[in-house]
């Protein structure tokens, strides 16, 4: 049974039902005037429902932040499933054939701006304004929402007030203005959000992490690699987290992906999900074949839609526990150990895939993601808390910045190798020597066999392979890129990392490499795919907006 902060719980209920009064044995604010009751910081935070719930929706809403960052990257996708369907909206995400009517773009725009609006509304409340910690957390939350929007769309309206005159329409801010605003807000609230680590509640270390994210991505976001000082700034923020001594790597990798993660020493900031208040994670529903639910006695809906690229699976070391922790393959069994059959055929998950859409993938194709704990009954993964920032990423980001700088403030590149080794050690207990990473390995190429790899033949017929061989030797810091892939698969950061890492010709991996049925961009100077188009419905409703270049 997870422990659940009662103030966040009551806030989530408030966010799910704005006009209802739910007795949680807390103060009923509609029956006590401000003159009769002295409001505390905790009282104020119990009113944060829309702020908390908006983040859960933004992250796990259908087509939301996790989907857009993961389904467009080089690890997994949602193909057309032969005999089942799916894929029509997901195929262009995989192939990077973007247009402004894809639901992914409008969903993220709407979900995340609802969070911004919830923050602005709360900050306009005079009672909230009297609490410095609450105001600081709201500003940090708003900066988090804008960080997400900036990463996805770049040219976005920057709205910081709640009340607007009739007919008001927002104007786009220049990317530099938005970037400076986010950084300024975070710098201003540093040290003012509290040191206590509670799910859903932004703390001082979350602010450090957000600033580090702003700095480490700066050069990639602006496509300007002339100033490496931002990597040093990122290290400074990451060192504050490390030197606090509040965090450490969890003993077991999967401790970060349980139904309850509030006991993990690795979690810096997480999104709470709980059956009575708010669920979110639907990975079990997305990945499991309907018959495969019997392994966990999971009775919720299942689509069997998700598919992992064999090219990614082939990169795992055979002794890396993260492969076993994250993926299942082969013959599937019920919880009691009996083999599962589908219309007299054994349910066997295979590694190889046919294609994203021509002809698509067959129902049994693809190993299945089981990284997030699958609970019995209808719950599946929906009640799993979601880690947003964790300590392993602090260590990996510091390693990356040290390698990019060739060392910083007396810490050498060897420190970077030691940090990555530290992250790997819990996953190579049976072969501890394999946990050790050298500077040369991290700075070398990727072991991912990049290239188009598609079989357009039909099952049982003649294979029709379309294959190109690109490899990963030309990826700068390719070994470190692989480390990010193994450690953070399914955690919404893969797209961002692929945009940040470069090839020797100056392209980023996101544009410069092919995988599965997605092809590389031929023009090394074309970076417009780094951001997504502004949704059509948003453009139609606001003539002040200008579409992102290239769309």
- pLDDT value at 20 more than 60: no
pLDDT for position 42: 63
Query: Is 290 among the domain residues?
Result: no
Residues in CB range of 138: below 8 A, 6 or more apart: 48, 51, 119, 122, 123, 128
Confidence grade of residue 50 (pLDDT, cut at 50, 70, 90): confident
Query: How many other C-beta atoms are found inside a 10 Å radius of the C-beta of residue 125?
Result: 16
How many beta carbons lie within 10 A of that of residue 84, not counting itself?
A: 16
Q: How many CA atoms does the CB half-sphere of 240 hold within 13 Å?
A: 19
Residue 334, domain member (yes or no): no
Look at the chain and report how many structural domains it folds into.
1
Query: Rounded distance, CA 49 to CA 115, Å?
Result: 10
Q: Distance between CA atoms of 333 and 352, rounded to whole angstroms?
A: 20
Least confident residue range of 1-10, 180-189, 246-255, 310-319: 1-10
Q: Is residue 520 part of a domain?
A: yes
Cis, peptide link before residue 55, omega less than 30° from 0: no
Q: Tell me, yes or no, whether 69 lies in a domain.
A: yes
Q: What CATH number corresponds to the domain at position 97?
A: 1.25.40.390
- Each residue of 412-455: pLDDT tens digit? 999 999 999 999 999 999 999 999 999 999 999 999 999 999 99
d(CA 223, CA 40): 45
Closest CA to 550 of 532, 535, 536, 538: 532
Q: Assess whether the previous peptide bond of 359 is cis (omega < 30° from 0).
A: yes
Which pLDDT score is estimated for 26? 33
Longest pairwise C-alpha distance within the chain = 80
Average of per-residue pLDDT across 335-345:
96
- Report the pLDDT averaged over residues 281-310: 95
The answer to the question of residue 40 being in a domain is yes
Looking at the domain assignment, is residue 447 inside a domain? Answer: yes
- Across 371-386, average pLDDT: 94
The answer, yes or no, to whether residue 29 has pLDDT greater than 60, is no
Residue % of the chain over a pLDDT of 70:
90
Residue 495 lies in a domain: yes
Going by C-alpha positions, the residue among 349, 341, 336, 358 that lies closest to residue 457 is 358
Q: How many C-beta atoms lie closer than 10 Å to residue 229's C-beta?
A: 11
Please tell me which residue, 48 or 216, carries the higher pLDDT value: 216
Q: Taking residues 187-208, what's their average pLDDT?
A: 96
pLDDT at 127: 86
Please report which confidence band the pLDDT of residue 1 belongs to, taking 50, 70 and 90 as the band edges: very low
| Predicted local confidence at residue 41, as pLDDT | 60
Q: What is the domain extent for residue 166? A: 6-278+387-541
Note the pLDDT tens digit of each residue in 505-523: 999 999 999 999 999 999 9
How confident is the model over 79-111, as pLDDT tens digits?
999 988 776 789 999 999 999 999 999 999 999
| pLDDT > 50? residue 47 | yes
Average pLDDT, the chain: 91
CB 284 within 8 A of CB 374: yes
- 411 forms beta bridges with 408
Tokens read off for 69: 């960052």
pLDDT > 90 in the chain, percent: 85
Q: What is the mean pLDDT of residues 62-68?
A: 96
- 231-241: string of b/e by CB count within 10 Å (b at 16+)? bebbbbbbbbb
Instruction: Evaluate if residue 37 carries a pLDDT over 50.
Output: no
Give the pLDDT confidence of 454-491 residue by residue, as tens digits: 999 999 999 999 999 999 999 999 999 999 999 999 99
For tokens 């880690």, name the residue: 387
Task: Quote the CA–CA distance of 113 and 104 in Å, as a whole number.
Answer: 14
Rg (CA), the chain: 23
The answer on pLDDT for 328 being more than 80 is yes
pLDDT, position 63:
95
Residue 31: the pLDDT is 31
pLDDT value at residue 45: 63
Q: Please report which residue ranges of 154-202 form alpha helices under DSSP H.
A: 175-189
Residue 181 near residue 156 (C-beta atoms within 8 A): no
Q: In whole angstroms, what is the distance from residue 537 CA to residue 534 CA?
A: 9
Per-residue pLDDT at 522: 96
- Closest by Cα among 188, 180, 227, 186 to 210: 186
């Amino acid at each position: 049974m997870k422990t659940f902060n009662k103030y966040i719980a009551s806030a989530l209920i408030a966010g799910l039902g704005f006009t209802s009064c739910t007795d949680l044995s807390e103060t009923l604010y509609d029956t006590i005037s401000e003159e009769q009751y002295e409001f505390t910081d905790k009282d104020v935070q119990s009113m944060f429902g829309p702020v908390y719930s908006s983040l859960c929706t933004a992250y796990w809403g259908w087509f939301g932040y996790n989907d857009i960052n993961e389904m467009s990257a080089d690890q997994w996708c949602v193909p057309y499933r032969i005999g089942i369907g799916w894929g029509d909206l997901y195929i262009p995400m995989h192939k990077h054939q973007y247009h402004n009517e894809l639901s992914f773009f409008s969903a993220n725009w709407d979900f995340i701006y609802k969070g911004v609006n919830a923050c602005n509304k709360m900050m306009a409340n005079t009672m909230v304004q009297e609490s410095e910690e609450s105001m600081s957390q709201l500003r940090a939350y708003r900066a988090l929402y804008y960080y997400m929007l900036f990463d996805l769309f770049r040219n976005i309206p920057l709205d910081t007030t709640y009340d607007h005159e009739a007919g008001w329409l927002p104007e786009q801010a220049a990317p530099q203005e938005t970037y400076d605003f986010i950084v300024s807000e975070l710098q201003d609230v540093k040290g003012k959000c509290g040191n206590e680590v509670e799910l859903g509640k932004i703390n001082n270390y979350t602010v450090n992490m957000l600033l580090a994210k702003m700095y480490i991505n700066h050069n990639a976001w602006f496509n300007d690699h002339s100033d490496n000082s931002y990597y040093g700034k990122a290290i400074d923020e990451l060192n504050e987290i490390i030197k606090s001594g509040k965090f450490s790597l969890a003993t077991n990798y999967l401790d970060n992906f349980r139904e309850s993660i509030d006991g993990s020493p690795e979690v810096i900031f997480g999104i709470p999900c709980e059956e009575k208040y708010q669920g979110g994670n639907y990975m079990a529903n997305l990945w499991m074949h309907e018959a495969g639910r019997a392994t966990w006695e999971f009775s919720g809906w299942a689509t069997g839609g998700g598919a992992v690229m064999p090219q990614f699976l082939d990169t795992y070391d055979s002794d890396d526990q993260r492969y076993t922790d994250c993926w299942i393959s082969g013959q599937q069994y019920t919880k009691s150990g009996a083999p599962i059959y589908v219309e007299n055929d054994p349910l066997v998950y295979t590694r190889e895939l046919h294609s994203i859409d021509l002809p698509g993938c067959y129902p049994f194709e693809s190993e299945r993601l089981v990284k997030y704990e699958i609970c019995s009954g209808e719950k599946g993964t929906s009640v799993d808390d979601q880690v947003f920032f964790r300590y392993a990423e602090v260590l990996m980001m510091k390693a990356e910045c040290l390698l990019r700088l060739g060392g910083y403030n007396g810490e050498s590149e060897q420190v970077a190798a030691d940090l990555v080794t530290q992250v790997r050690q819990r996953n190579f207990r049976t072969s501890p020597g394999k946990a050790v990473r050298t500077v040369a390995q991290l700075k070398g190429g990727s072991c991912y066999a990049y290239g188009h790899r598609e079989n357009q033949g039909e099952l049982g017929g003649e294979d029709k392979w379309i294959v190109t061989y690109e490899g990963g030797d030309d990826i700068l810091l390719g070994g470190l890129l692989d480390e990010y892939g193994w450690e953070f698969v399914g955690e919404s950061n893969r797209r961002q990392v692929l945009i940040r890492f470069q090839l020797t010709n100056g392209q980023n991996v996101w544009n410069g490499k092919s995988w599965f049925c997605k092809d590389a961009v031929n023009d090394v100077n074309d970076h417009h795919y780094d951001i997504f188009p502004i949704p059509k419905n948003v453009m139609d409703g606001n003539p002040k907006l200008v579409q992102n270049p290239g769309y």
